[in-house]
Amino acid sequence: MKIILITLVALLLGGCTVTTPSKSEYRIAPLMEITSISESSCSDKSLKVSQAFSQSSLMNTKMKYTLDEEQELTYSESAWSRSPTRAITAALLTSVRATNLFKIVNNYKSRSRSNLILETNIEEFIQHYENDSTKSFVKIVISFSLVNAKTSKTIDNNTIIVELDSDSLNAQGGAAALNRALSEVLNKNNEWLGSVCK
C-alpha cells in the first residue's frame, strides 16, 4: 500500500511544472523616410557597411535602462527580439542603400572589395529614468567614420546624438522612443554622407 501511495504522490508532483512568464519582445525597426539623392560624387564608388562596434551589453537581447544615471538595470519581463548591435547595423545598411549615393552598398559579410567603408560605433542606446522615475527619455549616441578602403585613412567622421522623451514609463515606451530616435540618427547620417559626397 505504501508503494502505491508513494508512486501516486510522485506522479502528482511530477506533473506539476513551474512555468516562467514569457518575456515581451520588442523589435528595433525604425520608420525610414529616405530621400534618394540623384547627384553624388560617390555614385561610381562602392561602400561596405561594417558591423557596428558597441559595448557588450548591446550585443545581446537584454533590455537595459538607467536609473538616475547611477544604476544600469535590466528589464526582467522584456527583451529585444534581436541584439541592438545587429539590428542597428541592418537598419543602417537599408537606410544607406535607399539613398542611392553609392553605386553599390555591401554588408560586412560580403567578400567583394569596396572603395569605401562606413564604420559605426554605438556609444549609447538606452532608456533613462530620472526624478524618482517620474520622467523617462531615451538617448542614442552613434559615431560614424567614412574610411578609404585602399589607404585606411578616414575621409570624414561624425557623431550624432539624439534624445527623445518616452511616451510611457515602461519598456514599451522606451522601445517606441528608441525606434523614433534611431530614425532621426539614420536620417542625419544620410545627410552627412550626402554632404561628404557632394
Mean pLDDT of the chain: 88
For the cut 60, the answer to whether the pLDDT of residue 29 exceeds it is yes
The confidence score (pLDDT) of residue 32 equals: 78
- Burial degree of 102 (CB within 10 A; 0-12, 13-18, 19+): buried
55 in Cβ contact with 121 (< 8 Å): no
Per DSSP, the three-state class of 171 is helix
Condensed to tens digits (0 to 9), the pLDDT of residues 126-161 reads: 999 987 778 999 999 999 999 999 999 999 999 999
Give the pLDDT confidence of 60-70 residue by residue, as tens digits.
999 999 987 77
Higher pLDDT, 129 or 40: 129
Q: What average pLDDT does this structure show over 32-41?
A: 75
User: Superfamily for 40-196?
Assistant: ABC-type transport auxiliary lipoprotein component (3.40.50.10610)
pLDDT at 18 over 70: no
- Judged by average pLDDT, the poorest of 37-51, 145-159, 180-194 is 37-51
pLDDT digits (tens, 9 = 90+) for 158-177: 999 999 999 999 999 999 99
List the chain domain ranges. Answer: 40-196
d(CA 192, CA 117): 15
pLDDT recorded at residue 126: 96
- Rounded to two decimals, the pTM is 0.85
